[in-house]
Amino acid sequence: MSMSTDLAYADVGLTAREYELICQGLERSPTRLELGMFGVLWSEHCSYKHSKALLRRFPSSGSHVLHGPGENAGAVDIGDGLAAVMKIESHNHPSAIEPFQGAATGVGGIVRDILAMGARPVALLDPLWFGPPDSARARHHLGGVVSGIAAYGNCLGVPTVGGSIAFDPAYAGNPLVNVLCLGVARHDQLVTARGSGAGNPVLLVGSATGRDGIAGASFASAELNQASEERRPAVQVANPFLEKLLIEACLEALATGDVVALQDLGAAGLTGAATETAASGGCGVDIDTLLVPRREAGMTPDEVMLSESQERMLLVVEKGKEASVSQVFERWGLHVALIGHITSDGLVHIREGEKMVAEVPAGFLSKGFPEYQGPAVTLSPGERRSVAEEPPFAVPADLNAVLLRLLASPNLCNRRPVFEQYDSMVQTNTVVGPGQGTATVRIKQNGKALAVGIGAASRASALDPWLGGALAVVEACRNVACCGARPIALTDCLNFGDPERPEVWEALNASIDGIRAACLALEVPIISGNVSLYNETDGMPILPTPVVGALGLIEDANRHASAHIEPGQDLWLLGPDRAALAASEYAAVVHDWPGASLAPLDLELEGRVQGCVQELIASGHVEGAADLAEGGLAVALAELAISSGCGVDCESLTPTGGRADTAFFGEGPSRIIIASGPDHRSEIEVAASRWEVSLTRIGVAGGETIRIGQVIHISLQEAVEQWAPGLDRWMRV
């Protein structure tokens, strides 16, 4: 095996120090292929070398947890021998360069992570961030990403049941495309990627291997610039119809009991799948690249091992069972090839026929990378903030106009032009779909339901990263509580800029501490996640954007709540009557003011508010609930009225603290609007008292107007006219 290489370490994204460590670990210079393999597996995208030490702070155990971080996805017990499997991933860089394929392959990749655990994918959610939609670039990103998600998910037959879309100048060149997938499996069907059994055959199934996506993991580990367009071939090409076959074939193969390990070919392709399967099982693997099915002629071993062609899975099967397992995939019309076998020597052997082209220790290749600490933090909060603590503007005279303007703004207007492109009802498990409240899917096997909420607070994170991280957790959990679910697990996607910048490193550290504090306070573990760094364009980082997905369990699928009100229902505010204008949609849209002092977060109070609303919904005393989020109280009431076709009369509301705009458009945690019939008033008051949370009856549902305090009075029709055109204003330009 030749030790020479004409490929420089910098060409594969390695530093001089990392190259030196590789040479020391191997006790020789790496071959060309070996260098490429280290380049992808030691990339930020695969190794988490700037965040791994920080992530160890997260609580990841709990009474429901079956598999925590370290597997393809996390799994939790949901009763009756069933498990829910969940993970969120990012596909930011590919989507910036090739929006349709980047988003589509992002969906395909996260679905295969769920499949690799032995679970059937049952739901998708997609939190997205773009630049201002009045720019051609943002509209290009928006249209391509939404089309890619729709094309893949719809063809695949997995419903897209929820998500979010936000716009901010910070994401103009680097949109964020995060995708969460939820799956369900029986406990005895769960499988891992831990290879074992010397001599056990290794099968590669699914798509043939091509040159698309070569070294995509390295591409995703660098900031974007003008040269990034030249990396377009690093973006993979999607085939959802093939992935649908792959799902069914893999689940059928797993049912035979002959599969030892299953691994997705995602980032780092065959290199990643083979190495991680061997390393996690404490074994070795021998692969012959000539046995890999290819769709292009003349591919070298480097291209075969580094290709990130989609819709491929790696299986380790019991020796002697390879023929019967192969027949399953052949029956589904899929490529299946025996490309190697498990060894006991702990090495990754890569051959081209009889010629050895790479031979490295699996553990060293998979986990031998250095872990980095970011630069010393030198910026104080005072240096970060250069704005006044108090709002530098007076309360607008016409708050009717303010509400209508907010309802028409990109971050608050109707999302139907987006989610109507998604099939949210396929599989017929969707209980609450897009636009109706927190995404909720039925578990047909036991009559329970799973709810998934998304939390993110990028503007707040820019002002206070600790609080922004904590707010992402409590918002996600509050969302699932609003449909009556008990949060049992979290998944997170940490989207940040270059960690070698002091301010980015500081924000990443603080966000993780905030997430940890909220997890501990609410007693909900993180079971899976993703870190996406170097989200920058020409040196300009995105806002710190930690995204959290919360999984909630509803014991009776028929006993849930949605964001809906009916005429005659009482409307209550559950939680503290306090808010702030800092980081609010109102302050940003109407006054272009970021603010400085955020509303305080009492984590113990947050837990009581969520517990109270869960109990009220489970007991049947509350039929509708909505979290107070962007836009504050006035926007939340208007959105309930619009979605329900029913006005609200909250004229008796009196602003506290002196400013009507703070009271009605300010934002703060731990607040929920609940709707219930008048005959349940005493039960609601008793529950709030027992949970020691504030409760205020703010009005009644009904009529054809939206009345809030003495300062807002508009017709429901006026509100609909501003809100309803939604993103059509920009998507169809």
The two tokens of residue 635 are 């926007």
Reduced to 3 states (helix: H, G, I; strand: E, B; else coil), residue 319 is: coil
The two tokens of residue 96 are 């910036």
Q: How far apart are the first and last CA of the chain?
A: 58
DSSP state of 377: P
The CA distance from 47 to 499, in Å, is 14
Reduced to 3 states (helix: H, G, I; strand: E, B; else coil), residue 332 is: coil
Q: Give me the amino acid identity at 691.
A: W
Is 45 tagged catalytic? yes
254 Rama sector, left if φ>0, alpha if ψ -120 to 50, beta otherwise: alpha
The two tokens of residue 710 are 């003495």
**Selection from 337, 105, 314, 72 nearest residue 212 by Cα:** 105
Active-site residue, selected from the candidate residues 45, 50, 93, 341 = 45
Contact 89, 113 (CB under 8 A): yes
Active-site residue, selected from the candidate residues 50, 64, 91, 680 = 91
Residue with the two structure tokens 């899975």: 313
603 Rama sector, left if φ>0, alpha if ψ -120 to 50, beta otherwise: alpha
The CA distance from 492 to 515, in Å, is 9
Using the CB atoms, write b or e for 350-379: b if 16+ within 10 Å: bbeeeeebbbbbbbbbbbbbeebebeeeee
Q: Concatenated DSSP letters for 237-258?
A: ---HHHHHHHHHHHHHHHHTT-
Sequence-distant (6+) residues with CB within 8 A of 588 are 459, 594
Contact 360, 29 (CB under 8 A): no
DSSP state of 415: -
Q: Which is it for the CA torsion 178, 494, 98, 10, positive or negative?
A: negative
The CA distance from 210 to 220, in Å, is 19
Q: Where are the alpha helices (DSSP H) in 359-451?
A: 362-367, 381-384, 399-408, 416-419
Q: Which is it for the CA torsion 422, 426, 427, 432, positive or negative?
A: positive
Active site residues: 45, 91
